Chains A and B, each alone.
Chain A
Amino acid sequence: MCLVQALKAVGERLAMAARGHLTVPALFAFRASEDIRSLYLAGGLVSFRNVLETEIYSDPLSNFAWNLFRQTDLPTLVARSAPRRIHLAGAVDASMRPVAADALRQIYSTENVTISDEPAWDEASLGAWLKL
C-alpha cells in the first residue's frame, strides 16, 4: 500500500497485477485502496476456506494472518471491491492444482469479476486488460 501511495502521489490512473502467492497481498491492497481502479490476478489462491479444507497445502505462512478467516476470505474481498473490476486469470487450490473456470465462477459470482482458464502473464493479456 506504500507503493500505491507513492504512485498515487505522482497522479496516475492506477491498475495492479499480481502473480502466484503475491495475489493475496495484492487483493488486500486492492480492497483497501480505492485508488487502484482494477486488478489482474494470475494463478492466485482460490480461497482461505480451501486452505482450511486441504490436508496438505502449499501456501506460504506470509499469507496466513492471525484470525483472518474469521474476518474475511478472498472471494469476500473480491465481492466487496465491486464495482471495481477484477480479472482472475486462472486460480489454484491450496495444493497448487488449477481450479476450473466453472468452479471459479461458482465461488466468484459477482459482476465485477471476469475469469479465464489460463494464468496468462504476458503483454497481450495484461495489455488487453489494461485497455478495457
Chain B
Amino acid sequence: MSEYLWSRREWLWATAAAAVVPRPDGFYYRDYSRCLPDYLTSLARAAYEKRNHALSLLTGAAAIRQRQLWARETLWKLIGGQLERTPLKAQTTGTFDREAYRLEKIVYQSRPQLFISANLYVPASGKPPFPGVLFQMGHSPTGKAYPSYQKCCQALARLGYLVLAFDPMGQGERIGYPDASGNDTRLSSVDEEHTLPGRQMLLLGETATRYQLWDAIRSLDYLAAHQLVDPTRLASVGQSGGATLTMLLACVDERLAAAAVSSGNTENVANVNFNPPGATDDAEQDLIGSGALGFDRWDLLYPMAPKPLLVEVSAHDFFGTYSPKYLEDGREEFEKLARVYRILGHDDSLAWRSTPLPHGLTYGLRLEIYNWLARWLKHSEPHITEEPPVAPEPAHRLWAGSTGSVVRDFNSLRPIDLIKQTAATVHPSDAAIAWLHPPQKSTPFRELAGTRFTGARVAAVEVNSDPAVWIPAWLFTPAEAHESTLLVLDSHGRNAGAHEDDLYHSLARAGHRVCAADIRGMETQGLRPAVEIQAMSFRTSRKRISHGRR
C-alpha cells in the first residue's frame, strides 16, 4: 500500500468523484456510500482501457499466439497453478440401454479420493470412433440430471457423439454440505456450495476456479482416453455456469476442437458499463487479481481462436442472471474476438446466437449446438431442424452411487475436507507480509463541521485513503488536556457510540480523545458484500486495493 502513488487519472477521480456537496443546513458532507463504488469504477475503467490497448496490438498471427499463451499462463497463475495428474481410477457402476444409446454410470477421481459422478452416453449405432462432447452443467441442484441438460446429452448421443456429463462441485451426487436426506444442500443454493468453500480457499492461495477447472480437465482426460472416441474431435458444451466452466477449459486445454458457450458469464468484470459490483456471484467465476493485469473473462476464449466457437446468449439474462448491460457488453467483447478470428482467416468459425427466452438451455439453443457440432466435428451441412426424441430420466436412475451421494457411497472427500487437509500442513510464519506497512505519506484530517457536548468538542472529520475514497470519523476531544487518543473501529459503525453520554462522549469526559471511524465498506460507506468481491478482483498481492465473482 505504501508504495502506491496516485496517477494523474486517480487524482482526477479523487477530486471529481464523491465530491463534497453543500447541504441546505450549511454542513458539508460527502456521499461516503459512493466512495468505494466510484473508486472501483475508476479501477474498472483503467483495466478496461489497459485491455483494449493490448487487444489493439493484435494485428497478426504471431501477436495473437503470444496473447493466447499469455492468457493461458495468466489464468493458471491467477487461480493457483496446475495440479498433479493422479490416477483417475475410473469405475463403471452400472449401465442401462435406451433405444439409441447406452448410458454408463461412472465415477473417477480428479484428485486422490475426490470422486466425480458422471454419465457416459454411448451411441448405439454408427461406427466408432465417435466425436466426443464434454457436457458441463449450469448450477442445477440435480447436476447432470437436470432435464434440459439430459435432453441435450441424449440428443447428442442419438446424433452420434460420445457424451460425458459430470456433476460439478456441490451439485447432483456431489453435494458437499448435505441436509438430513444427504441428497440436497443445506445451504441457500448450490451456488453457495461453490462459494462458501471458495472463500476459504482464498486464504490458502487456492480457488474454486481451479477446483472446478481441474475437475473438467480430468473429465476430459477420461473422455479423450475412451476407446470409442476420436481424440482429435473433442468439444466442450456448457450452459450457464457450465458455459463459464467451458470458457475456463477452452483457455487452458488445447485438446478441444470446438466449443459451445451457452448463456455463460460472457461479460467482462471491467466493462464500459461497469456498475459496481457487477456480476460477481459465484466464487469460481471471479478471477482475483485479474484487473491489474488487464485480464478479463473474455480472455478465456482467445486461446480457442481460430477453432470453432459458438457463443449463445439469452436476451432476458439482463433481468437478474447477469448485469443490466450483459448483452451490450458481451456483444462488444464478441466483436473484439471476431476481429482476431478474421485476422487468422477463420471468421466463419466464430458465431453468436441469441434466444428471446429467459435463462435456460432451451430448444432453439440446443438445435444451434447440434448444428454447430455437426458442422465442425462431423463436417456435415447444418440441417438439424428437429431435436431427436428425448426423455429425461428421474435423477436416481442416473446415480453412479447407490444412494446418490459420493460422500456416502464412495467415501469421497468434500471441498471442506481438502481445505482442512491443506490448512493442517500450513504453519504461518509472519515472515512474508512485506506489503503490511504504513502509508508513506500522511494525509491529514479535514474537519467538516464541529459542535460541543458537555466537556468535549465533537468534530466531523475525514481522511483521504485512496483516490476518491474518504474515511469519515467523529473526533471527540476533551475540553481539558487529554492523555491519549483512542482510535475506534466498531463493526456496528462509528455512530453506534457517538451520541451524547454514549461511549465516546464518556471517554472524552474521562480525558481521552476518541477518533471513531468507518473504514471503507462500513456503515456510512454503504458497502454491499458483492462489492468486497469486486474489490478483490482488482487487488494484487502487494496493494490493498489497486488495479486489480456469478
Mark the stretch among A83-91, A98-106, A110-118, A123-131 that contacts chain B: A123-131
B426 at the interface (CB under 8 A from A): yes
B202 at the interface (CB under 8 A from A): yes
A1 touches B487 (CB 8 A): no
Pair count A-B, CB < 8 A: 186
Contact of A22 among B428, B445, B490, B513 (CB under 8 A): B490
B196 at the interface (CB under 8 A from A): yes
Contact of B489 among A22, A60, A61, A123 (CB under 8 A): A22
- B453-496 at interface with A (beta carbon < 8 Å): 463-465, 471, 473, 482-492
Q: Chain A residues in contact with chain B, CB under 8 A? A: 1-10, 12-23, 25-26, 28, 31-33, 35-36, 48-49, 51-53, 55-57, 60-62, 64-73, 76-77, 79-80, 121-123, 126-127, 130
B430 touches A17 (CB 8 A): no
Chain B residues contacting A19 (CB-CB under 8 Å) are 489-492
Report the Cα distance A77→B429, complex, angstroms. Answer: 9
CB nearest to A18 among chain B residues:
B489
Provide a sorted-by-A list of 26 A–B residue pairs whose CB atoms are within 8 angstroms: A1-B439, A2-B464, A2-B471, A3-B519, A9-B442, A15-B486, A17-B486, A17-B487, A18-B490, A19-B491, A48-B203, A53-B420, A56-B187, A61-B536, A62-B532, A66-B288, A66-B539, A67-B541, A68-B203, A70-B205, A71-B428, A80-B430, A122-B503, A126-B507, A130-B483, A130-B507
Report the Cα distance A79→B490, complex, angstroms. Answer: 23
Chain B residues contacting A6 (CB-CB under 8 Å) are 442-445, 463
Given contacts A48-B203, A52-B423, contact A20 B491 (CB under 8 A): yes
Contact of B1 among A1, A18, A22, A71 (CB under 8 A): A1
Chain B residues contacting A57 (CB-CB under 8 Å) are 196, 200
Given contacts A6-B444, A61-B533, A71-B428, contact A127 B439 (CB under 8 A): no
Q: Chain B residues in contact with chain A, CB under 8 A? A: 1, 177, 187, 196, 199-200, 202-205, 288-289, 416, 419-420, 422-423, 426, 428-433, 436-439, 442-445, 463-465, 471, 473, 482-492, 503, 506-507, 510, 512-513, 515, 517, 519, 521-522, 527, 529, 532-533, 535-536, 539, 541
Report the Cα distance A107→B519, complex, angstroms. Answer: 28
**What's the least CB distance linking B111 to chain A, in Å?**
18
Chain B residues contacting A79 (CB-CB under 8 Å) are 430
Given contacts A66-B541, A71-B432, contact A51 B203 (CB under 8 A): yes
B488 touches A18 (CB 8 A): yes
Chain B residues contacting A36 (CB-CB under 8 Å) are 487
Q: Is the interface of A mostly helix, strand, loop or mixed?
A: helix
Chain A residues contacting B439 (CB-CB under 8 Å) are 1-2, 5
B471 touches A76 (CB 8 A): no
B487 touches A16 (CB 8 A): yes
Report the Cα distance A72→B536, complex, angstroms. Answer: 19
B204 touches A52 (CB 8 A): yes
- In the complex, besides A64-B202, A66-B205, 10 extra interface pairs with C-beta distance below 8 angstroms are A2-B471, A10-B485, A19-B489, A19-B490, A19-B492, A20-B490, A21-B491, A67-B202, A69-B428, A130-B507
Q: Count chain B CB atoms within 10 A of each CB in A32, A36, A56, A62 and give the residue with the most.
A: A62
Contact of B519 among A25, A31, A61 (CB under 8 A): A25
Chain A residues contacting B471 (CB-CB under 8 Å) are 2-3
Report the Cα distance A36→B515, complex, angstroms. Answer: 13
Chain A residues contacting B535 (CB-CB under 8 Å) are 62
**What's the least CB distance linking B175 to chain A, in Å?**
13
Report the Cα distance A51→B436, complex, angstroms. Answer: 22
A76 touches B203 (CB 8 A): no
Chain B residues contacting A67 (CB-CB under 8 Å) are 202-205, 541
A22 touches B202 (CB 8 A): no
Q: Count chain A CB atoms within 10 A of each CB in B289, B471, B488 and give the residue with the most.
A: B488
**What's the least CB distance linking A121 to chain B, in Å?**
7
**What's the least CB distance linking B468 to chain A, in Å?**
14
The 7 closest A-B pairs by CB, nearest first: A20-B491, A67-B205, A52-B423, A12-B485, A2-B465, A123-B506, A22-B489
**What's the least CB distance linking B485 to chain A, in Å?**
4
CB nearest to A69 among chain B residues:
B203
Report the Cα distance A3→B486, complex, angstroms. Answer: 11
Contact of B204 among A5, A7, A9, A69 (CB under 8 A): A69
Chain B residues contacting A5 (CB-CB under 8 Å) are 438-439, 442-443
B490 touches A32 (CB 8 A): no
Chain A residues contacting B491 (CB-CB under 8 Å) are 18-22
**What's the least CB distance linking B82 to chain A, in Å?**
17
Q: Count chain A CB atoms within 10 A of each CB in B439, B485, B532, B533 and give the residue with the most.
A: B485
Given contacts A15-B485, A55-B416, contact A66 B289 (CB under 8 A): yes
Chain B residues contacting A61 (CB-CB under 8 Å) are 199, 529, 532-533, 536
A56 touches B503 (CB 8 A): no
Report the Cα distance A69→B424, complex, angstroms. Answer: 11
Report the Cα distance A110→B200, complex, angstroms. Answer: 27
Chain A residues contacting B464 (CB-CB under 8 Å) are 2
Q: Count chain B CB atoms within 10 A of each CB in A15, A48, A53, A61 and give the residue with the most.
A: A61
**What's the least CB distance linking B293 to chain A, in Å?**
14
**What's the least CB distance linking A25 to chain B, in Å?**
7
**What's the least CB distance linking A60 to chain B, in Å?**
7
A16 touches B519 (CB 8 A): no
A64 touches B199 (CB 8 A): yes
Report the Cα distance A103→B203, complex, angstroms. Answer: 23
Chain B residues contacting A14 (CB-CB under 8 Å) are 484-485, 487
Chain A residues contacting B539 (CB-CB under 8 Å) are 65-66
CB nearest to A123 among chain B residues:
B506
